[in-house]
């Protein structure tokens, strides 16, 4: 599939809180590749760099995109979801430059009602992993 912008209303993140930008590939119903970056005007960017741990938010947003794409089309507005747990997160860098192209890969590993679990990886422009983890999310009320 050609790379496409994440539709504005698909997830509720806006402005500097919106890290995920594009859908790169959805090879299976439970797997999604997204493009993104750290916005220069993010609250977490100082001197042009952000702590690498913030990239877990990019992964969580990619998971929210996957969840929204998997939901039946109903035209309901995107509602806030919540990150409820992180397990086995590993970081290979301490910080990352703002604006650099990043890729988030998410694979849904479980779903029970509003709760879902994902294995996630965020890679840099060189394709090397910067952060990986297992995330648990709640779809919200």
Partner 1 sequence: MIFDGLTIVEEAADAAGWRARLRLETSSRAFAGHFEGQPILPGVAILVIVRHALRAMGGRATTLQALPSVRFRHAVRPGDVLEVLAARPDAEGLSRFEVKVGGALAVTGMALASRDA
Could you tell me the smallest distance in angstroms from the CB atom of residue 80 to partner 1? 5
For partner 1, the binding residue among 40, 43, 71, 100 (CB under 8 A) is 43
**Residues 6 or more apart in contact with residue 57 via CB below 8 angstroms:** 19, 83
For partner 1, the binding residue among 83, 97, 111, 114 (CB under 8 A) is 83
**Residues 6 or more apart in contact with residue 17 via CB below 8 angstroms:** 42
Q: Of 8-16, 30-38, 106-114, 116-124, which part binds partner 1 (CB under 8 A)?
A: 8-16
Q: Of 22-30, 67-75, 84-92, 97-105, which part binds partner 1 (CB under 8 A)?
A: 84-92
For partner 1, the binding residue among 24, 34, 38, 54 (CB under 8 A) is 54
Of 57, 105, 54, 104, nearest to 81 (Cα)?
57
Please tell me whether residue 51 binds partner 1 under the rule CB under 8 A.
yes
Please tell me whether residue 102 binds partner 1 under the rule CB under 8 A.
no
- In angstroms, the CA 79 to CA 48 distance is 30
- In angstroms, the CA 132 to CA 138 distance is 19
What three-state secondary structure class fits 63? helix
Positions touching partner 1 (CB under 8 A) are 12-18, 41-44, 46, 51-54, 56-57, 60, 80, 82-91, 94, 133
């Amino acid at each position: 599939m050609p790379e496409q912008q994440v539709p504005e209303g698909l997830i509720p993140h806006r402005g500097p809180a919106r890290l995920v930008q594009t859908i790169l590939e959805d090879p299976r119903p439970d797997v999604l590749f997204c493009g993104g970056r750290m916005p220069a005007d993010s609250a977490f960017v100082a001197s042009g760099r952000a702590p690498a741990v913030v990239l877990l938010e990019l992964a969580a947003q990619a998971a929210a995109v996957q969840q929204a794409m998997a939901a039946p089309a109903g035209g309901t507005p995107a509602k806030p979801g919540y990150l409820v747990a992180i397990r086995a997160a590993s970081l290979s860098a301490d910080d990352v430059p703002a604006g650099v192209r990043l890729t988030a890969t998410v694979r849904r590993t479980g779903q029970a009602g509003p709760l879902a679990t994902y294995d996630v990886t965020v890679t840099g422009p060189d394709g090397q992993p910067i952060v990986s983890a297992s995330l648990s999310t709640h779809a919200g009320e």
